[in-house]
Amino acid sequence: MDLQLTVPAVLFPAISLLYLSYNGRFLALAQLIRDLHAKWQEDGDEAIYDQIQNLRLRLSFIRWMQICGATSFILAASSMTALFYGYEQVGQLLFGASLVMLIASVAYLLRENIISVEALELQLGSLPRVADEERV
């Protein structure tokens, strides 16, 4: 297979946009954790503590999303460098590894989304279903 120098470069915008998205998630979660931690210190509410534990798990997934995304970016750049200097096989291997890391990053994203939705469903489950009954 002949891998052109421009092929790994195609990943740069995708990885950058993903990383920007991950950073936004991280910042939103960090603020939420700070707010909930302050409430927990005031009230000592067990439900708030459980929410913080859920956010801790999500934060771990976001950390791995970012690590895999950054590694994918580095491997893609290394692939381009190898291809530039004529090391075709090394460039192909690095590009393949970059794709694997990108897939891992998105897999962590999917898992974090599942955890997030489950937490929201639990939160919404505690609300009365008056609005749904009124529509019927």
SS3 content of the chain, % helix, strand, coil (to 5): 90, 0, 10
pLDDT given at position 23: 84
Per-residue pLDDT tens digits for 49-87: 888 888 899 999 999 999 999 999 999 999 999 999 999
Q: Could you read off the pLDDT of 81-109 as tens digits, one per residue?
A: 999 999 999 999 999 999 999 999 999 99
pTM over 0.85: no
105 touches 72 (CB < 8 A): yes
